[in-house]
């Protein structure tokens, strides 16, 4: 049994949890380039947390410019066991009202040009991704958000778009016709990379707007989005406090912890030195046998 260590990737307006004890900011280097910024480490009760601001400490990184690989890599290097992503999302359904939260279950990836794999050179791996969200972690997060006073919808499909512009009305209507529930710009390739890093992943989204499908005369307004985020930030922080109390005392193993055992195609004898060095955190379980 291992201890829980929750990595939190914060979205718009959620950069500082404000609930960590023994908090310290630590710069962590990645073999995949510069992460969004330093990590903030601490604990809530007996549970360790490591936090990184997805868009940087001053929200200076566009969704398409975030180094998702470096962010997941540094969390892995910090010893994180599970990843909770928090972000602002748009609603594609009438019943998902602004200010409510969604524990997302599935993703449709419409992004382009983002580095979506750690295994891009020297080593080939194909991880299963049919169910990209960890049901155990997602269920705990949903319960924690409810305990913090949030209205939570559990399940639903998130359409990840490239941005930074919001959708056209035609696109928004198309995504609704696909049966998607929410829309955002950052969950992909974040969820893909967490799976490659053998980190169970859950996403709790805060509904900030109705995208542009609902009102023919309206468009998405950033000022309104930021106002909703600010009004609900305490519930997001309260969710972190609540989940620390809901986690079992010991962390049972997850099948995701060993997903690379059935995903790496390249024989270990064919691993290049460069790839081995680059993957020293992501594929750490494999490296002792590689170096023998």
pLDDT at 15: 43
Cβ pair 159, 205 in contact under 8 A = no
Cβ pair 190, 67 in contact under 8 A = no
Q: CA dist 136 to 41, 143, 223, Å?
A: 23, 11, 35
Question: Tokens 């718009």, residue?
Answer: 12
* Residue 182 β-bridge partners: 91, 158
Q: What are the per-10-residue average pLDDT scores of the chain (292 residues)?
A: 86 56 90 94 92 90 97 97 96 95 98 95 95 98 96 97 95 96 98 98 95 84 85 86 93 96 92 92 76 42
Q: CA dist 200 to 8, 94, 191, 231, Å?
A: 12, 30, 9, 29
Residues shown for the chain: 292
Cβ pair 92, 244 in contact under 8 A = no
Structural domains in the chain plus CATH codes:
5-291 (3.40.50.1580)
3-class SS of residue 260: helix
Q: Given 73, 82, 109, 211, which residue is catalytic?
A: 211
Cβ pair 129, 193 in contact under 8 A = no
pLDDT at 237: 85
CA atoms of 14 and 37, how far apart (whole Å):
14
pLDDT at 285: 87
Q: Given 209, 215, 234, 261, which residue is catalytic?
A: 209
pLDDT at 226: 85
Is 209 among the catalytic positions? yes
Is 131 among the catalytic positions? no
Cα atoms in the Cβ-side hemisphere of radius 13 Å centred on 226:
4
Q: CA dist 159 to 21, 107, 121, Å?
A: 35, 6, 28
CA atoms of 256 and 279, how far apart (whole Å):
17
Element (H, E) at 154: strand 152-154
CA atoms of 48 and 41, how far apart (whole Å):
8
Closest of 37, 129, 74 to residue 282, by C-alpha: 74
Q: What is the pTM (predicted TM-score) of this model? A: 0.94
């Amino acid at each position: 049994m291992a201890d829980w260590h929750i990595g939190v990737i914060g979205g718009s307006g959620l950069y500082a949890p404000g609930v960590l004890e023994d908090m310290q900011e630590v710069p962590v280097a990645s073999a995949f380039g510069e992460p969004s910024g330093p990590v903030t480490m601490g604990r809530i009760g007996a549970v360790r947390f490591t936090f990184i601001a997805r868009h940087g400490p001053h929200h200076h990184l566009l969704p398409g410019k975030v180094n998702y690989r470096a962010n997941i890599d540094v969390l892995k290097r910090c010893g994180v066991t599970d990843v909770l992503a928090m972000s602002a999302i748009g609603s594609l359904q009438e019943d998902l009202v602004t200010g409510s939260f969604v524990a997302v279950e599935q993703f449709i990836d419409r992004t382009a040009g983002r580095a979506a794999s750690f295994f891009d050179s020297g080593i080939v791996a194909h991880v299963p991704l049919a169910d990209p969200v960890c049901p155990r972690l997602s269920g705990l997060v949903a319960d924690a958000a409810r305990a913090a006073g949030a209205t939570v919808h559990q399940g639903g499909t998130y359409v990840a778009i490239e941005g930074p512009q919001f959708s056209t009305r035609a696109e928004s209507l198309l995504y609704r016709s696909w049966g998607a529930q929410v829309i955002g710009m950052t969950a992909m390739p974040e969820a893909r990379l967490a799976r490659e890093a053998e980190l169970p992943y859950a996403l709790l989204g805060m509904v900030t707007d109705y995208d542009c499908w609902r009102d023919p005369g309206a468009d998405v307004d950033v000022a309104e989005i930021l106002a909703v985020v600010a009004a609900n930030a305490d519930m997001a922080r309260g969710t972190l406090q609540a989940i620390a109390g809901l986690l079992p005392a010991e962390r049972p193993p997850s099948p995701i912890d060993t997903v690379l055992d059935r995903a790496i195609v390249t024989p270990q004898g064919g691993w290049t030195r460069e790839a081995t060095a680059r993957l020293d955190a992501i594929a750490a379980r494999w490296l002792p046998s590689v170096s023998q």
